[in-house]
Chains A and B, each alone.
Chain A
Amino acid sequence: MNPISENLGFEPPKAVATAWVVDGAIDTRHGPILYMEDVSVSFDGFKALNNMSLYIDEGELRCLIGPNGAGKTTLMDVITGKTRPDSGSVFFGQTINLLKMDEPAIAQAGICRKFQKPSVFDALTVFENLELALKANKSTWHSLFFRLTTEQCDRINDVLLTIGLSGCSQQRAGILSHGQKQWLEIGMLLMQEPKVMLVDEPIAGMTHQEIERTAELLLSLQGKHSLVVVEHDMEFVRSIASKVTVLHEGTVLTEGTMDEVQNDPRVIQVYLGGSC
């Protein structure tokens, strides 16, 4: 049973046009902005996701934790259209079936992602990286005749300030440190003004100070955006999360506050037992 038929009592339209999305018609009247239900993904028989279900509310900041190989990155691949699940449903709001859309359409609809391995465009400057991400008409024709308006320019400068890269906006992204690349990619997320941000391991390679600023930034974003943050660092997760979901072997082990989760015997078993 998918969320639409459950809530509205009729089947959703099969083909979902992107036009709905561009109009901002993301129906969140029933709470969650992102629904994943009974999603399974297998690679050569190995189940990376196993009947997993997850609901993300509008404006919430959710942390996903779980041992390596639990399926956290695969989950983001499914939501952003990179990997097609074998079964299950994934909806954006009540009406938008993400499984019928490709990567650009999902991104334009307002679900954006930071990759586990920082992926910025090394040959372009920091400024140009942000400009590419900027929310705008992204057709070939509009790109050819695109001109930054003053507001857009201000917006880029604001983001540069937020991510602490104002000083090197004209430098090539290739020469940034690992931590700075992570920040730049977070900045690219901000430029897209997404409804949902999927952030995969944002603090890898960051100094202690940078980690603190990342925590502050992510906290300041909740409410305006819905965030799903994957992170290994428990201290970091504790500092930002109100609600934590623990993944294990492709399925949700438990959900709750950090304290609840950390005292859950099954979680202790997974984290400590796994190493035996």
Chain B
Amino acid sequence: MKLISLASQDKTTSALLTVLLLVSIFIPLCNLLTAADSPLHFSAYTVSLIGKYLTFALLGLSLDLVWGYCGILALGHGAFFALGGYAMGMYLMRQIGARGVYGDPLLPDFMVFLNWKELPWYWFGFNNFGFALLMVVLAPGVLAFRSRVTGVYLSIITQALTYALLLAFFRNEMGFGGNNGLTDFKDILGYNIQSETVRSMLLLLSGGALIVAFLVCRWIVSTKLGRVVTAIRDQESRVRFLGYRVEMFKLWIFVFAAMLAGVAGALYVPQVGIINPSEFSPLNSLEIVIWVAMGGRGTLYGAIVGAVLVNYSKTLLTGLLPDAWLFILGGLFIVVTLLLPDGIVGLLQRKLKGQMA
């Protein structure tokens, strides 16, 4: 009930939620109900692409909570996404069982290839879906908790952290598939991961997760905790003198956002079919910041709009001009920060206000 009342608070929110609901219900439904040659039928590629955008939107949303509302410029947020992705990937690897190239019932192919005889201890439990889901939120959560979000150097430290993880996951001895990562997934919960039904379900789940996460974030920022956090963003020391333990509030938001990013990563991996160390690349984390800045920081829906638009442009442009993407992204970022300090959403809102007046 509370969530519903939050959903209908303002026009932008209701519009955004309607679009999200339509996308995540309409597309899977079309695919399940129509034949493959029907004009209403979306290709498996399109379905997974849209599903991927939705997981990026969830990732952007989680960064907006820490950066837009708490003022913590986390430049390593992609690490939490990747960790959630790896936790899901490990479950999917263990689902392969004896169907791998080497046919080992327990060891994933890359371990057989490395001549390993036993499953490393940290791979135990991942054959259980519930355990894997727990790890999807726990691994990012614990890492965020341990990183202690205090001090001026947080931005740099988080960036260094994701770089360190990138290097570590590259190493074969780490036992996460090294350079190649985890891939060749067969099924999820016993269903073929390539099938249209599963892809449609994953899209539906991604949309559902995004909507629920959006409403929960909306609720959080509407509570007193949300106001304390906003106050910390604007005048941290003053909040201390009101008797609030600022570090605890920052940590709470940071850990919660890391968990959301982990969920996004876990939904991303089965849809793209692979997770490898490049997801830890510091550049990825910078891109998330750009999505949020472009969409409009500190609004929650801005992050969603930004993530989808930037990634849609990326899909279009990398097809046309594969080498130019980074320059275009950088250029866009400069244009937006100079000309649109409130992002795309801010621009739209000003336009709407202008029309009404």
Contacts and interface: CB of A to CB of B under 8 A. Distances in A.
Contacts of A146: 223-225
B244 A104 contact: yes
A202 B245 CA distance: 26
B197 interface: no
Given A121-B234, A121-B235, A140-B252, A132 B220 contact: no
Interface in B73-90: none
A16 interface: no
B227 A144 contact: no
B242 A138 contact: yes
A144 B220 CA distance: 7
A122 interface: yes
Nearest to A109: B243
Question: Which has the most chain A C-beta neighbours within 10 Å: B227, B243, B248?
Answer: B243
Given A124-B230, A132-B231, A113 B241 contact: yes
A80 B241 CA distance: 8
Contact of A104 (B220, B235, B243): B243
Contacts of A121: 230-231, 234-235, 238
A123 B238 CA distance: 14
Given A119-B235, A140-B249, A140-B252, A124 B227 contact: yes
Contacts of B227: 124, 128, 131-132
Size range of the interface on A?
20 to 34
A76 to B, nearest CB: 10
B230 A119 contact: no
Contacts of A143: 223-225, 228, 244, 249
B148 interface: no
Contacts of A140: 225, 245, 248-249, 252
Contact of B224 (A103, A104, A113, A132): A132
B99 interface: no
A50 interface: no
Interface in A98-112: 102-104, 107-108, 112
B240 A132 contact: no
Interface in A254-276: none
Given A119-B235, A121-B235, A143-B228, A132 B242 contact: yes
Contacts of A144: 220, 223-225
A46 interface: no
Contact of B230 (A103, A107, A112, A123): A123
A144 B226 CA distance: 8
Nearest to A129: B231
A176 B238 CA distance: 18
Interface string A81-97: 01000000000000000
Nearest to A144: B225
Contact of B241 (A112, A128, A131, A139): A112
B234 A122 contact: yes
A115 B242 CA distance: 12
A138 B234 contact: no
B241 to A, nearest CB: 5
A133 interface: yes
Nearest to B219: A144
A188 interface: yes
A192 interface: yes
Contacts of B249: 140, 143
A145 interface: yes
Interface string B233-277: 111011111111110110010000000000000000000000000
Contacts of A82: 237, 241
Nearest to A119: B238
B235 A192 contact: no
A27 to B, nearest CB: 21
Question: Which has the most chain B C-beta neighbours within 10 Å: A115, A122, A128, A132?
Answer: A132
Interface string B158-172: 000000000000000
Contacts of A122: 234
Question: Which has the most chain A C-beta neighbours within 10 Å: B224, B234, B238?
Answer: B224
Question: Which has the most chain B C-beta neighbours within 10 Å: A104, A119, A128, A146?
Answer: A104
Contacts of A138: 242-245
13 contacts: A82-B241, A103-B237, A104-B246, A113-B241, A121-B235, A121-B238, A123-B234, A124-B230, A132-B242, A140-B245, A143-B244, A144-B220, A146-B224
What are the 7 closest A-B residue pairs judged by CB atoms, nearest first?
A107-B243, A143-B225, A146-B224, A103-B240, A108-B243, A144-B225, A121-B231
